[in-house]
Amino acid sequence: MSTERDEIAVVGAGLAGCLLACFLARRGYPVALYERRPDPRTGTAERGRSINLALSERGLDALRRIGLAEQVMVDALPMRGRMVHPVVGEPGFQPYSVSGDRAINSISRGALNNALLEAAAKLPGVRIAFDHRLVGLDPATGEMTFDTPQGPVTAGARVVLGTDGAGSAVRGQLLEHGLLTESVDFLDYGYKELTIPPLGGDFALDPGALHIWPRGTSMMIALPNPDRSFTCTLFWPTHGTASFASLGSKAAIERHFAQHYPDLLPLAPNLVDDYQHNPVGVLGTVRCDPWQVDGRVGLLGDAAHAIVPFYGQGANCAFEDVVELDRCLSECADDWSAALPLFQHRRQENAEAIARMALANFVEMRDKVASPVFQTRKRVEHA
Ligand code: FAD
């Protein structure tokens, strides 16, 4: 019978945390998975918070290793290219591959998280504690303090792994103890989600593409959902004369979309309500060093390296982290004090590369995909 002191604590039951719990349990570890929120399988999604995401081969590889890819892919919608919507004229399709058959997959974030949570819960040795928000950590002993609806709770663990996202409390605790340095670079752009419901029972736009409305200083994308709706994400500066804050009335919102996104307006009957009530999310790049302390505390996923979403690779990258940590544990005969530094050594450079590429892709998506030069080049590439 294992005790709390033998357990590996995984803090944050998001995409990375649930996958990590599955990999660790398969290695035979007792795992305690702590999550600040209630069980998502019993609740509803938060309004306007990244409803779907693009899952690519990097993420699928991780899911295949735990036998979950097939189940997750049942509801996936493959997107084989970009559909670029100009202000005037017909949208143009730009395939992602020369053969036209390679795709990224639009997946419900909630369904993916629930499938991973379910898979973790089924494995022997995994216990899940919801409504546990980590608020304290002693990196020397692994003792954690959680806020719960019943009051503060303390727990111990042999190793503590922070998969608690971009605003990681585990990272915060290491910072407070002077054990790491971090930089958080916020973009002056935020994002807001809008919905295109089904039209006459069918998709209102082509579901085989990722739709983009590049507008220079702003940009919108739309990904299809299994219920035949689309979730649009509008990226725009958070402040200034042309920004989310600048549209104060129903008329101003309608005028703005009629001018810049004229083909969207008739397809989005709840546009004004969505715009007025959905929150503006922040976007930023998190860098920190080191990602681990003494083989006892480690960071994975967004907690170690959150990136802006323009390459659609944050979750894919978090999944790759888990596969790599599992590989490092195998190579180091499960010696955590060797495996965690090796993991950082192998992943940090890659995380930095995708962080930079994601920022560069923002410029391409909001601007260059609409330029005549880019479209000509694409036509030649894909001829
Ligand atoms: P998260 O998913 O943030 O999970 C963290 C978990 O920790 C949550 O469940 C949270 O409740 C919990 N938690 C937080 N604090 C505590 C605490 N103190 N105690 C206990 N639990 C805690 N990536 C892609 O690959 N493809 C995409 O298309 C894509 N699109 C995106 C679009 C947008 C608009 C945004 C913002 C991001 C997008 N991403 C995409 C990035 C992706 O969402 C993240 O990289 C991914 O969610 C990271 O997973 P994670 O498990 O590390 O963190």
**Cβ–ligand 1 contact at 343 (below 6 Å):** no
**Cβ–ligand 1 contact at 229 (below 6 Å):** no
Average pLDDT for residues 335-353, to the nearest whole number? 98
Average pLDDT for residues 291-313, to the nearest whole number? 97
| CA of 122 relative to ligand 1 center, distance in Å | 22
Q: What is the DSSP string of 144-202?
A: EEEEETTEEEEE--SEEEE---TT-HHHHHHHHTT--EEEEEEEEEEEEEEEE--BTTB
**Cβ–ligand 1 contact at 110 (below 6 Å):** no
Q: Two tokens at 326? A: 């599992």
Tell me the C-alpha distance between 218 and 198, whole Å: 25
Q: Quick one: pLDDT at residue 306? A: 98
- Interface confidence, given as ipTM, is 0.99
pLDDT-above-70 percentage for the chain:
93
Average pLDDT for residues 131-149, to the nearest whole number? 97
| CA of 254 relative to ligand 1 center, distance in Å | 32
Residue 143 reports pLDDT greater than 60: yes
Tell me the C-alpha distance between 154 and 134, whole Å: 9
Q: Which fold has domain 4-83+104-184+285-366?
A: FAD/NAD(P)-binding domain (3.50.50)
Half-sphere exposure of 67 (CA within 13 A, CB side): 6
Q: Among the atoms of ligand 1, which is closest to the Cα of residue 164?
A: 7
Q: Among the atoms of ligand 1, which is closest to the Cα of residue 15?
A: 51
- Which pTM value belongs to this model? 0.94
| CA of 370 relative to ligand 1 center, distance in Å | 30
| CA of 50 relative to ligand 1 center, distance in Å | 9
Task: Read off φ and ψ for residue 32, nearest 5 degrees.
Answer: -110, 120
**Cβ–ligand 1 contact at 220 (below 6 Å):** no
Domain coordinates in residue numbering, the chain? 4-83+104-184+285-366, 185-282
Q: Quick one: pLDDT at residue 382? A: 34
For residues 12 and 109, the answer to whether their CB atoms sit within 8 Å is no
Pairing of strands 281-289, 292-293: unpaired
Question: Could you read off the pLDDT of 54-111 as tens digits, one per residue?
Answer: 999 999 999 999 999 999 999 999 999 999 999 999 999 999 998 888 999 999 999 9
Q: Among the atoms of ligand 1, which is closest to the Cα of residue 301?
A: 52
Q: Quick one: pLDDT at residue 375? A: 47
Average pLDDT for residues 306-335, to the nearest whole number? 97
**Cβ–ligand 1 contact at 307 (below 6 Å):** no
Average of per-residue pLDDT values in the chain = 93
Residue 17 reports pLDDT greater than 80: yes
